[in-house]
Amino acid sequence: MSLGIDYAKKIREDARLIILRALAEQINDTLASNVLQDTVLPVFGVRQDRAWVHQQVEYLANLDAVSVVEAGSVRVVTLTAIGKKHIDRLVALEGVTRPSLAGEE
């Protein structure tokens, strides 16, 4: 039975917001992709392999929401001004869940 919801798409869009928020919580707005995969995303029930996480990071990089530096098998991901504007609800990035308003759940 299908409820007409594309769950894979919803998980991808939510994961992208989770990544942006996690970056914004860091003093230097930066995390490695292995930390996103092993520590950040599983807290929200998102358990995916590194290639999947890299795809989401690449998607965000294509929107200029993050910058990426390759470091061996991981990617070092840094929040950009556009990514921060999405978190602050000043812009809406296509394919990234919109943050809820303060006080909203």
Query: In terms of Cα–Cα distance, which of 15, 13, 29 is closest to 66?
Result: 29
Is residue 98 domain-resident? Answer: no
Is residue 32 domain-resident? Answer: yes
- Retrieve residue 34's tokens: 């292995």
Average pLDDT over residues 8-32: 97
Band (pLDDT 50/70/90 cuts) for residue 105 is: low
| Predicted model pTM | 0.92
CATH number at residue 62: 1.10.10.10
Quote the number of domains for the chain.
1
Q: What pLDDT score does 83 carry?
A: 98
Q: What percent of the chain stands above pLDDT 70? A: 93
What range does the domain containing 82 cover? Answer: 7-87
pLDDT tens figures, 28-74:
999 999 999 999 999 999 999 999 999 999 999 999 999 999 999 99
